[in-house]
Structure formats: C-alpha cells, structure tokens
Amino acid sequence: MSRSVLVTGGNRGIGLAVARALADAGDKVAVTYRSGEPPAGLFGVRCDVTDSEAVARAVEEVTIQQGPVEVLVSNAGITRDGLLLSMSEETFGSVVDTNLMGAVRVTQQVVPGMLKARWGRLIYVSSTTGTAGAPGQANYAASKAALIGLARSLAKELGPRNITANTVSPGIIATDMAEGVTGARMKQLLSETALNRTGTPQEVAEVVRFLAGDGSSYVTGANIPVTGGGGVGC
Ligand code: NDP
C-alpha cells in the first residue's frame, strides 16, 4: 500500500537511506532538507526542525503534495560533543532543541491527521548512546534517551487510535556523523560489537521499513537496537 511518509533529515545519511527504502517499497516519500537541493526523485521540503513555523509549513506542503502524513520518521539529529563541566548551556540546549524538540515539533504537526485517519506510525531515530551513555556526549545521550520516553508515552496516548510509536537505536553507522569517530574510540566501539564492523544506513533503513509497514502492527513502545550486537545483554 502506498502511504504518505515524511522523513526529517532525509537528504543524506540514515534519513536518505530510509527515504529511498520506503520509496522503493512504493510509498510516497517526502524529505526535509536545510540547504542545497533535495535528493533526486524524492519530494523535498526545506525545513529546519528547530523552527516551529518552518515545521508547520513543511508539513502543510507535504500534505498538499501527497496527503496527510501517515508515517513519520523523525531522524534529523546533531552532535556537539564536549565534557559536561565545560559545556555551555547553549551547546547542551542546541542538541536537545534539534534532537528532541525537533521531533516533538514534527510530531505535533502530523498527529492530528493520524488521529483523523485512526492510523499512523511514529518512528524516532534514537541511539544506543541514549541508554548506554558516552563520555563527552551527555547532551546527545540525554536527547536520545528522551526520545525513548517520548515514543513510549505516545504509544500509550495514541495506541487506542491505532497509532504506534517506536524508536530505532543504531550503534555506529557509517555516515558523515560517524566520521568524527576515529582511532582508539572507533576501535573500542567496533570491539564492542559482535559483528566487528560499522553498520550501513541501509541496515538501519530495513528496520525502519519494518516498523513503517503492516508487519509491525502489534509493535509499539519498542526500542529496537541496530548495533551489530553492541550492547547485547546490557
Ligand atoms: P548525518 O549527519 O549524516 O545527517 C544528519 C541529518 O539531520 C541531515 O540530513 C541533516 O540535515 C539533518 N539535520 C540536522 N539538524 C537539523 C535541523 N535542525 N533541521 C533539519 N534537519 C537537520 O547523520 P546520520 O545520518 O548518521 O544521523 C541520522 C540520525 O541517526 C541522527 O538522529 C543521529 O543522531 C542518529 N544516529 C546516528 C548514528 C551514527 O553512527 N551515524 C548512531 C546512532 C544514531 P543537513 O544536511 O541540512 O545538515
């Protein structure tokens, strides 16, 4: 079935892989992008998720183009690493504003349409760092852990209307974001995986595709790790 999908941060990395996987599965897929051109073959809306008005405009454009959003993949995210003791409130807040509040803003815009349709899929891209923590990433970990609480609460608020809410928690995935992780830190992260390698954006996209589809109809409030075995048993 062709569904109206919105992927935030869908112009590169994991978001682009998700958008392409869902488009290949026959869905109508829109992506947000902040600068440059949208990816070829996908409907792009310019949107910074820290700007409430831009988010509202973007969701309106998507609705006109392909109908009310039925599947939201909230993926846009940033890191601004540093030790907490020397981290400014601005640095901490900017990560929370993008990773958590960005997701909240988009959710508030798309849920009314899902309520009307009595069907919807909310999928948030969290991170294993959200539950495991990482030195220098207190802001990022806090924002990603919060997404799990957000999804679980929405699962309970919206379940009676047949709307599911889940998180996907990738480990280390080969994208621009992971390029900053090198040397000893990368070696350590790889040694913590069972598969001893980084994941690909496509491997995350496959899990998102499952959550977006009919096969996941009884899965809600779940957090699915995509870590190559990293963190297993913790
Ligand atoms: P990238 O840095 O490759 O892509 C990040 C995406 O988010 C880009 O499309 C970017 O848009 C978008 N974005 C960032 N800030 C905003 C904003 N304010 N408004 C709109 N869009 C924004 O990262 P990944 O693909 O690796 O990450 C995607 C998600 O996966 C993130 O939430 C990240 O935290 C999570 N993740 C990634 C892991 C990894 O190892 N790569 C591991 C665990 C989780 P633009 O191109 O305009 O900058």
- Residues 176-212: pLDDT tens digits? 999 988 888 899 999 999 999 999 999 999 999 999 9
Going from the Cα of 76 to the center of ligand 1, the distance in angstroms, rounded, reads 5
CA 32 to chain centre: 12
Condensed to tens digits (0 to 9), the pLDDT of residues 22-75 reads 999 999 999 999 988 999 999 999 999 999 999 999 999 999 999 999 999 999
Measured between alpha carbons, how far is 45 from 59 in angstroms, rounded to an integer? 9
Least Cα distance to 47 among 108, 102, 107 occurs for 102
Going from the Cα of 14 to the center of ligand 1, the distance in angstroms, rounded, reads 7
Atom 2 of ligand 1: nearest residue by CA position: 177
Least Cα distance to 130 among 166, 91, 169, 98 occurs for 169
Confidence band, pLDDT 50/70/90 cuts, at residue 141: very high
Ligand 1 atom closest to 198 (CA): 40
Nearest-Å Rg of the Cα atoms of the chain is 17
Ligand 1 atom closest to 97 (CA): 18
Lining residues, ligand 1, CB within 6 Å? 8-9, 11-15, 32-35, 47-50, 75-78, 98, 102, 125, 127, 170, 172-173, 175-178
Residue 231 pLDDT > 90: no
Question: Strand, coil or helix: what is 139?
Answer: helix
Residues 6+ apart with CB under 8 A from 14: 75, 125, 170, 173, 175, 201, 204, 205
The pLDDT of residue 185 is 87
Best residue for ligand 1 mutational test, from 78, 148, 193, 202 (most atoms within 8 Å of Cβ): 78
Best residue for ligand 1 mutational test, from 6, 8, 12 (most atoms within 8 Å of Cβ): 12
Going from the Cα of 13 to the center of ligand 1, the distance in angstroms, rounded, reads 7
Condensed to tens digits (0 to 9), the pLDDT of residues 78-116 reads 999 999 999 999 999 999 999 999 999 999 999 999 999
Q: What are phi and psi of 220, to 5 degrees?
A: -150, 145
The pLDDT of residue 67 is 98
Ligand 1 atom closest to 174 (CA): 41
Looking at the domain that runs over 4-226, which CATH code has it been given? Answer: 3.40.50.720
Comparing 47-51, 120-124, 217-221, 227-231, the range with the smallest average pLDDT is 227-231
Question: Strand, coil or helix: what is 68?
Answer: coil
Going from the Cα of 155 to the center of ligand 1, the distance in angstroms, rounded, reads 24
Condensed to tens digits (0 to 9), the pLDDT of residues 145-156 reads 999 999 999 999
Going from the Cα of 98 to the center of ligand 1, the distance in angstroms, rounded, reads 10
Atom 11 of ligand 1: nearest residue by CA position: 9
Confidence band, pLDDT 50/70/90 cuts, at residue 218: very high
Residue 12 pLDDT > 80: yes
> Burial code of 146-164, b = ≥16 C-beta within 10 A, e = fewer?
bbbebbbebbeebeeeebb
Atom 7 of ligand 1: nearest residue by CA position: 76
Least Cα distance to 7 among 56, 74, 98 occurs for 74
Taking a C-beta distance cutoff of 8 angstroms, is the pair 41, 9 a contact?
no
- Examine the residue annotation and report whether 140 is marked as an active-site residue of this protein: yes
The pLDDT of residue 92 is 98
For the chain, the residue count is 234
